[in-house]
Chains A and B, each alone.
Chain A
Amino acid sequence: MQLAVEVDHLNLYYGETQALKDISLEMEERKVISLIGPSGCGKSTFLRTLNRMNDLINGVRISGTVRIHGEDIYQREVDVEMLRKRVGMVFQAPNPFPKSIYDNVAYGPRIHGIKNKSQLDEIVEKSLRDAALWDEVKDRLKERATGLSGGQQQRLCIARALAVEPEVVLMDEPTSALDPVSTGKIEELIVELKEKYTIVIVTHNMQQAARISDKTAFFLSGELIEYDETEKLFSNPSRKQTEDYITGRFG
């Protein structure tokens, strides 16, 4: 089994405060990995270290190494834009651009230099199909994306992320702003997507983590407490804190 993500002794500081403490873990290719833990435990921060989105925040310092498919992404010569093309991201609230559905999906390929119309058409259709949205929007690709329902918007954002053919897709609580039906659709989609992509998902919903992920990592106050097969972690956690959290004793 190939490793998609290898994190080794990762520390992260916001100014003086340490937000991630000595994190080490490995993620296999084409799996769904859930990150769970109470608010402020560092799971979202950790997610953003995988595509260097933390670079956009002032005063963040990092030590340790993060490898994506073997490449150390914090080396000086790394092209951050190319890294983010390889490691896509879907955010908490759907954030489509105020453009047409087509232009939303074509945004990524265009900024990476694809101008050919038929090639773009092909990418848009494939990405929308992969995001299970094609049948719902194929007749109104020129309409504004902001007119879609919340769940459709989020699937559009997933399609938009897939359009640049990433290797890893990061999802930061992608269903927390959605109703149960839309949430169910996105969960089905995530399970389908792991045939092609490695998916790392932050979630507050433990049932969701249990339903869709192969492995689960439990974070608490910036530390990785436990990382194991999802089934094992939920049925027979090896650490007391994990057990307390998943049985609802805190958090």
Chain B
Amino acid sequence: MKLEDALNLSTQLEKRKVNHASVSWRRWKNRLAYLLFLLATLSGVVLLGVLIFDVISTGWKWLSPDFFHNFASRLPDRSGIKAALWGSIWVMAVTAPLTFVLGVATAIYLEEYAKKSWWSRFIQLNISNLAGVPSIVYGILGLTLFVRQLALGESVLAGGLTMTLLILPIVIVASREAIASVPASLKYASRAMGATRWQTIQKVVLPYAFPGILTGNILAISRAVGETAPLIMIGAVTYIAFTPSSVMDAFTVLPIQIYSWISMPQEVFHELAAAGIIVLLAFLLTMNGIAVYLRNRFQRKLR
């Protein structure tokens, strides 16, 4: 008996040694994984930092009130971003309300009304796929449909509608997710008191989903602000010496202006482009900031 015990004990000790070695290897791997993920995160942050530093150091000196008051010019000193800035604002003024209404309405239909049949799954699959279609393709569609078929010309309206098509799938997907996150128990509570489906949507679903819907919309709009390809496709012009006064006017937008400056041979225009990029980034950061602020505000109200 005693001998057996002793043997048992020694094998147990043996095992423990092996375990000890594997534990230290495991800890090392644990540490390695942490470092790997930290490095991945930092690489993005560092790149962004370099980009912003580069752009600001090149373009900063051009940011004067004149830069915002002047139109584009072949003389760098007289060049400004006025037409492009206002063009971007005009296009967004068409795109933002349209995508909001169409996108949210579609999301409500898909989440709250459509029966879960193969047909609704088919629609949903297609919408998700549309979100991945390259933007230039939407440009071709906009050119054919809005500029030519509907004879809107190379106008703010045609540009705004094309942008609407481009970001609509993103808005629908984001709004659907927000609406799907509304607890079913709240909807049942409302229906059980005799509320109709529409009353429930108005008073329970939309207030609850609103922060998410809003965030999705603003982020999609930010993406549209930075898009160039589809607007070049529908014929937004690079040189314009006026700001639009109606939706039927010709226009240019910030990224197109930046692109045209970048493609000039003179070095000084590249500095102007950098200044334009600062304006565009400020525009985007402001919009994202608003999105974050609104989301936090409404979410606090929900708790």
- Tell whether A93 is near chain B: CB-to-CB under 8 Å: yes
CB neighbours (8 Å) of A112 from chain B are 194
Task: Give Cα distance in the complex from A58 to B116, angstroms.
Answer: 9
24 residue pairs of the A-B complex, CB under 8 angstroms, read A51-B192, A53-B188, A53-B192, A56-B188, A81-B194, A82-B194, A84-B194, A89-B192, A89-B193, A95-B183, A95-B185, A95-B186, A98-B301, A107-B190, A107-B195, A107-B203, A108-B194, A111-B190, A111-B194, A111-B199, A112-B194, A144-B303, A161-B192, A161-B193
**B197 — nearest CB in chain A belongs to which residue?**
A56
For the complex of A and B, the 5 pairs showing the least CB-CB separation, nearest first, are: A85-B194, A89-B192, A95-B185, A84-B194, A108-B193
- Tell whether A31 is near chain B: CB-to-CB under 8 Å: no
Q: A53–B193 contact, CB under 8 A?
A: no
* Interface core residue of B188, B190, B191, B208 (most chain A CB under 10 Å): B191
Task: Give Cα distance in the complex from A84 to B200, angstroms.
Answer: 14
Q: A81–B192 contact, CB under 8 A?
A: no
**A82 — nearest CB in chain B belongs to which residue?**
B194
- Tell whether B196 is near chain A: CB-to-CB under 8 Å: yes
- Tell whether B20 is near chain A: CB-to-CB under 8 Å: no
Q: B189–A91 contact, CB under 8 A?
A: yes
- Tell whether B145 is near chain A: CB-to-CB under 8 Å: no
Q: A97–B185 contact, CB under 8 A?
A: no
- Tell whether A182 is near chain B: CB-to-CB under 8 Å: no
Interface size on B, residues (CB 8 A): 22
- Tell whether B204 is near chain A: CB-to-CB under 8 Å: yes
Task: Give Cα distance in the complex from A174 to B194, angstroms.
Answer: 20
Residues facing B in A30-87 (CB within 8 A) are 51, 53, 56, 58, 81-85
* Interface core residue of A83, A85, A88, A98 (most chain B CB under 10 Å): A98
**B187 — nearest CB in chain A belongs to which residue?**
A56
Q: B196–A98 contact, CB under 8 A?
A: no
Also in contact, A88 and B192, with CB within 8 A (given A58-B115, A58-B116, A97-B204): yes
Contact of B194 among A58, A91, A93, A164 (CB under 8 A): A164
Indicate the size class of the contact surface on chain A.
20 to 34
- Tell whether B302 is near chain A: CB-to-CB under 8 Å: yes
Looking at chain B's contact residues, the main secondary structure is helix
Also in contact, A88 and B193, with CB within 8 A (given A98-B303, A111-B199): yes
**A108 — nearest CB in chain B belongs to which residue?**
B193
Also in contact, A97 and B186, with CB within 8 A (given A58-B115, A146-B303): yes
Task: Give Cα distance in the complex from A146 to B303, angstroms.
Answer: 7
Task: Give Cα distance in the complex from A58 to B208, angstroms.
Answer: 24
**B192 — nearest CB in chain A belongs to which residue?**
A89
Q: B185–A91 contact, CB under 8 A?
A: yes
Task: Give Cα distance in the complex from A158 to B252, angstroms.
Answer: 60
Task: Give Cα distance in the complex from A164 to B189, angstroms.
Answer: 13
| Further contacts, 12 of them, CB under 8 A, given A58-B115, A88-B193, A97-B189 | A53-B191, A56-B191, A81-B194, A81-B196, A91-B185, A93-B185, A97-B190, A98-B186, A108-B195, A111-B195, A111-B199, A160-B189
CB neighbours (8 Å) of B193 from chain A are 84-85, 88-89, 107-108, 111, 160-161, 164
- Tell whether A157 is near chain B: CB-to-CB under 8 Å: yes
CB neighbours (8 Å) of B115 from chain A are 58
Task: Give Cα distance in the complex from A95 to B208, angstroms.
Answer: 14
Task: Give Cα distance in the complex from A178 to B252, angstroms.
Answer: 62
- Closest chain-A Cβ to B192's Cβ sits at a distance in Å of 4
Task: Give Cα distance in the complex from A51 to B183, angstroms.
Answer: 21
- Closest chain-B Cβ to A86's Cβ sits at a distance in Å of 8
CB neighbours (8 Å) of A81 from chain B are 194-196
CB neighbours (8 Å) of A111 from chain B are 190, 193-196, 199, 203
CB neighbours (8 Å) of A146 from chain B are 303
Residues facing B in A87-113 (CB within 8 A) are 88-89, 91, 93, 95, 97-98, 107-108, 111-112
Q: A84–B203 contact, CB under 8 A?
A: no
CB neighbours (8 Å) of A88 from chain B are 192-193
**B193 — nearest CB in chain A belongs to which residue?**
A108
CB neighbours (8 Å) of B196 from chain A are 81, 111
CB neighbours (8 Å) of B189 from chain A are 91, 95, 97, 157, 160
Task: Give Cα distance in the complex from A184 to B136, angstroms.
Answer: 66
Residues facing A in B165-185 (CB within 8 A) are 183, 185
Task: Give Cα distance in the complex from A164 to B193, angstroms.
Answer: 7
Report B198-216 CB contacts with A as 1/0, cut-off 8 Å: 0100011001100000000
Report B281-303 CB contacts with A as 1/0, cut-off 8 Å: 00000000000000000000111
